[in-house]
Chains A and B, each alone.
Chain A
Amino acid sequence: MKKDTAVKGAIRDVILLGITLSIAIILLSIFPDRRDIVFTTSWEFFVEMIWILPAVMILMGLFMVWVSKDMVVKYLGRTSGIKGFFLALVFGALPTGPLYVAFPMAAALIKKGARISNVIIFLNAWACIKLPQEMVELQFLGPKFMALRLILTIIFAVVMATSIERLIEWSNNKNGVS
Chain B
Amino acid sequence: MNKRALLINVFAFACLLISLIRNKEKTKQSLIGAVKSFFRILPMVFIVIIVIGLLLGFVPPAKISDIVGEQAGFGGLILIAFLGTTLHIPALISFPLVASLLKGGASVTAVAAFITTLTMVGIVTLPLEIKELGKKITLLRNGISFIFAIIIALIIGAIL
Contacts and interface: CB of A to CB of B under 8 A. Distances in A.
Interface of A: 6, 10, 13-14, 16-17, 20-21, 23-24, 27, 31, 34, 37-39, 41-42, 45-46, 48-49, 51-62, 64-66, 98-100, 103-104, 106-107, 110, 116, 120, 123-124, 127-128, 130, 132-133, 135-145, 148-149, 152-153, 156, 159-160, 163-164, 167-168, 171
Chain A to chain B: the 5 pairs with minimum beta-carbon distance, closest first: A61-B34, A42-B53, A55-B12, A38-B57, A61-B30
Which of A62, A107, A116, A132 is the most central at the interface, judged by chain B CB atoms within 10 Å of its CB? A62
Contact of B156 (A27, A37, A152): A152
Nearest to A98: B90
Contacts of A49: 45, 49, 96
Contacts of B151: 156
A116 to B, nearest CB: 7
B49 A45 contact: yes
B139 to A, nearest CB: 10
Given A16-B43, A99-B122, A148 B156 contact: yes
Contact of B133 (A16, A110, A160): A110
B4 A139 contact: yes
Contact of A144 (B51, B53, B160): B160
Contacts of A120: 137, 141
B40 A10 contact: yes
B contact patch SS = helix
A contact patch SS = helix
Which of B2, B45, B91 is the most central at the interface, judged by chain A CB atoms within 10 Å of its CB? B91
A140 B2 CA distance: 11
Which of B1, B2, B41, B132 is the most central at the interface, judged by chain A CB atoms within 10 Å of its CB? B132
Contacts of B131: 103
